[in-house]
Amino acid sequence: MADARLKDQRILLCVCGGIAAYKAAELVRRLRDAGAQVQVAMTGEATHFVGTPTFQALSGFPVRTSLWDEAAEAAMGHIELARWADRVVVAPATANTLAKLTHGLADDLVTTLCLATIAPITVCPAMNHRMWLHPATQANMATLRERGVQVVGPEDGPLAEGESGPGRLSEPEAIVAALGGAAR
Ligand X SMILES: Cc1cc2nc3c(=O)[nH]c(=O)nc-3n(C[C@H](O)[C@H](O)[C@H](O)COP(=O)(O)O)c2cc1C
Taking the C-alpha atoms of residue 116 and residue 127, their distance in angstroms, rounded to an integer, is 25
Burial 95-133 (b: 16+ CB within 10 A, else e): bbbbebbbeeeeebbbbbbbebbebbbbbbbbbbbebbe
Which stretch, 25-33, 41-49, 70-78, 173-181, contacts ligand X (CB under 6 A)? 41-49
Binders of ligand X: how many residues, by CB under 6 A?
A: 15
**Can you say whether the dihedral through the CA atoms of 98, 26, 176, 63 is positive or negative?**
positive
| Residue number of the CB atom closest to ligand X | 18
Closer to ligand X by CB, 10 or 134: give it.
134
Decide if residue 127 touches ligand X (CB under 6 A): yes
Which stretch, 14-22, 32-40, 56-64, 81-89, contacts ligand X (CB under 6 A)? 14-22
Decide if residue 106 touches ligand X (CB under 6 A): no
Decide if residue 16 touches ligand X (CB under 6 A): yes
Q: How far is the CB of 16 from ligand X (least distance, A)?
A: 4
Closer to ligand X by CB, 16 or 34: give it.
16
Taking the C-alpha atoms of residue 66 and residue 109, their distance in angstroms, rounded to an integer, is 5
One-letter amino acid for residue 79 of the chain = I
Which stretch, 43-51, 116-124, 139-147, 170-178, contacts ligand X (CB under 6 A)? 43-51
Residue 15 belongs to what H/E stretch?
strand 10-15
Taking the C-alpha atoms of residue 133 and residue 25, their distance in angstroms, rounded to an integer, is 27
Residue from the set 95, 121, 144, 179 that interacts with ligand X by CB under 6 A: 95
Decide if residue 65 touches ligand X (CB under 6 A): no
Q: Which residues contact 112 (CB under 8 A, 6 or more apart)?
A: 67, 78, 82, 106
Q: How far is the CB of 4 from ligand X (least distance, A)?
A: 32
Taking the C-alpha atoms of residue 77 and residue 98, their distance in angstroms, rounded to an integer, is 24
Decide if residue 131 touches ligand X (CB under 6 A): yes
Interface residues with ligand X (CB under 6 A) are: 16-20, 43, 45-46, 94-97, 126-127, 131
